[in-house]
Amino acid sequence: MKFGVLKDIKNGEYRVIATPAEVSMLVGDGNEVWVQKGAGEKAGFPDETYEKVGAKMVDTMQEIYAGCDFVAKVKEIEPCEYGLLRENQIVFTCIHPAAHPAEVDALLASKCIAITAEDCHRYGSPNCEAAGKQGAMAGLESLQSIHGGKGKFVNGLGGAPGVHALVIGGGTVGRACVGVVHALGARVTVMDINIGCLRDIGKQFAETVDTQICNRYNLEKILPTVDVVYNCVRWPKNATEPMITREMVRSMEKGSVIVDISNDYGCIETFHETTHENPRYIEEGVVHYCVSNIPGAIAQSTSIAYAASVLPHFRSIINNGLAEACVRDGFLRRALTSYKGYLTHEETSAIQGKPWIRPETILGIEDRKLDPAPAATTSKSDNFIKL
């Protein structure tokens, strides 16, 4: 198979979906691997390192899309790429389909086979770990006076108290964030809606962090007392009200910080997306850091970890075929977003009102013994396509 590694073009994105290590394995399997020139350069992988392991270097994304059966990148498909998608072509990337209706429309119109990478991770995405850890550092930096913050040092100074950090969400992102700010000496409170999750976090950190159930009452009480808030919650796209309202932001001390790692519109009322070039803004006296691709700032580490995590999916699809790969791995199956003009992603159907069909139905594997996987989100849709 011809496998293409695209250069990501999102603003401030320096990661690459496959390093020379993964390319060498795909070439060793007998595949022809095309890599767009410069794809790995900003992550520390120059073109010659790909050439040494057998990759064919090509100049443009147009060549990759036109010549490869399977193409992959890190971030969403940009509008300039919509017209390059081809029927039956496999596309693997972080699509975030429920939040991007135009992108979904382009996938469906092209009749390609699209897999949304963020839903395919059995043990949590390395991107999530990277976002949590790097987001933790961004929050502490944002507290500095030179960025409009209140000027507190993470573990304090003699006679001056350190930072009180609130981490909302105890999943892969939240735990990674806690690990950094706690290790650096901040006082940490973790909120989640799952008591079992909070118990596990308490044990993980030897009961040296505070835990609370996340609800409006508790948030309103704690926000005026904390220095930095890290939002690590995957907010439902169809939520009717924010988790943190503008009034709650206003209740925080001037110079406090909000780092919206999850970057979901509707969760924090004062949120708007920012970039690495201009990462912060101040609203209601609170510094907001809302970069959508935080892991791009540590491109080499994230690329190495992320590429290793998705390589098994690449090899399984190529060697076993998509249907068999989805039989063997339920997390890959739930990540199938579109298949030859059919929407196969339940959350997108629920949010956008588009009819969908279950991946196992369109792939003809309903009667097979399928590897189980939990639903990627709580959003449900019975708006089914009738074949």
The vertex-31 CA angle with 27 and 34, nearest 5°, equals 80
For residue 291, which of 375, 342, 245, 230 has the smallest C-alpha distance? Answer: 230
pLDDT confidence of residue 204: 97
pLDDT confidence of residue 214: 97
What are the backbone angles phi and psi of residue 220, rounded to the nearest 5°? -60, -35
pLDDT confidence of residue 12: 86
For the record, the structure tokens of 68 come out as 């490869």
- Helices within 34-167 (DSSP H only): 47-52, 61-67, 101-110, 126-142
pLDDT confidence of residue 155: 97
pLDDT confidence of residue 235: 86
CA–CA gap between residue 211 and residue 185 (Å, rounded): 17
User: Which active-site residues does the annotation give?
Assistant: 96, 264
- Which residues, at least 6 apart from 101, have a Cβ–Cβ distance to it below 8 Å? 352
pLDDT confidence of residue 347: 95
The residue assigned the tokens 């809302």 is 290
pLDDT confidence of residue 206: 97
What burial class does residue 285 get, using C-beta atoms within 10 Å of its C-beta: 0-12 exposed, 13-18 middle, 19+ buried? middle
Split the chain (387 residues) into runs of 10 and give each run's mean pLDDT: 97 94 98 98 98 98 98 97 98 95 98 97 94 98 98 97 98 97 98 98 97 98 98 86 97 98 92 96 98 94 98 98 98 98 97 97 97 93 91
Q: What is the DSSP letter of 364?
A: T
pLDDT confidence of residue 15: 96
What are the backbone angles phi and psi of residue 119, rounded to the nearest 5°? -100, 0
CA–CA gap between residue 68 and residue 84 (Å, rounded): 11
Chain-centroid distance of CA 299 in Å reads: 14
For the record, the structure tokens of 176 come out as 């990674």
Per the DSSP assignment, residues forming a β-bridge with 286 are 283
Beta-carbon-side half-sphere exposure of residue 41 (alpha carbons within 13 Å): 10
For the record, the structure tokens of 74 come out as 């890190």
The pTM for the full model equals 0.92
Torsion of CA 65, 69, 75, 76, to 10 degrees: 70
